[in-house]
């Protein structure tokens, strides 16, 4: 009975890591730029403007971009503050600018931005439009992850 308990404990303890991408537990995020393209478009849905959520989401998007995937960050809810041209720079907003400089796309929910008083966006970010958003959702090779 004790042996069954030990085996069950070991298996359940490892389960959270089973579905994680290798970079998440190896700590080698920046080595993926040499891998082949995954042939998908990645959309990172970011609803927060504070670390750790914002930082992890932008890191994930940057890794996807470095792997050769077309990658989009969709900012909504409080996440729109990251693209506010008049906001004080933060670690996450600086990472967002770097993501844009590498060719990443950043779209901002216009309704959320209006509600939070974000009127002017940082260079490279643009307000999303329904046709763009629904177009992405209907594409077969689009993968969406949310923070």
- Phi-psi region at 119: left, alpha or beta (left = phi > 0; alpha = psi -120 to 50): alpha
Residue 146: strand pairing partners: 45
d(CA 58, CA 99): 7
- pLDDT of 6 reads 37
Backbone angles phi, psi at 94, to 5 degrees: -65, -40
pLDDT tens digit string along 68-127? 999 999 999 999 999 999 999 999 999 999 999 999 999 999 999 999 999 999 999 999
Handedness of CA 29, 34, 35, 39 (dihedral sign): positive
Q: How big is the chain by its Cα radius of gyration, in Å?
A: 18
Does the pLDDT value for residue 141 go beyond 50?
A: yes
CB 92 within 8 A of CB 48: no
- CATH superfamily placement of domain 42-146: DsrEFH-like (3.40.1260.10)
Q: pTM, whole model, 2 decimals? A: 0.75
């Amino acid at each position: 009975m004790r042996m069954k308990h030990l085996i069950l404990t070991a298996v359940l303890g490892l389960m959270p890591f089973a579905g994680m991408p290798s970079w998440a537990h190896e700590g080698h995020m920046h080595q993926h730029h040499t891998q082949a393209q995954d042939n998908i478009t990645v959309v990172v849905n970011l609803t927060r403007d504070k670390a750790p959520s914002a930082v992890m989401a932008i890191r994930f998007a940057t890794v996807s971009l470095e792997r050769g995937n077309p990658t989009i960050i969709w900012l909504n809810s409080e996440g729109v503050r990251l693209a506010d041209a008049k906001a004080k720079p933060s670690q996450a907003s600086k990472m967002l600018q770097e993501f844009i400089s590498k060719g990443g796309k950043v779209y901002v929910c216009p309704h959320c931005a209006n509600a939070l008083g974000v009127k002017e966006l940082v260079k490279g970010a643009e307000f999303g439009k329904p046709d763009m958003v629904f177009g992405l959702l209907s594409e077969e090779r689009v993968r969406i992850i949310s923070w």
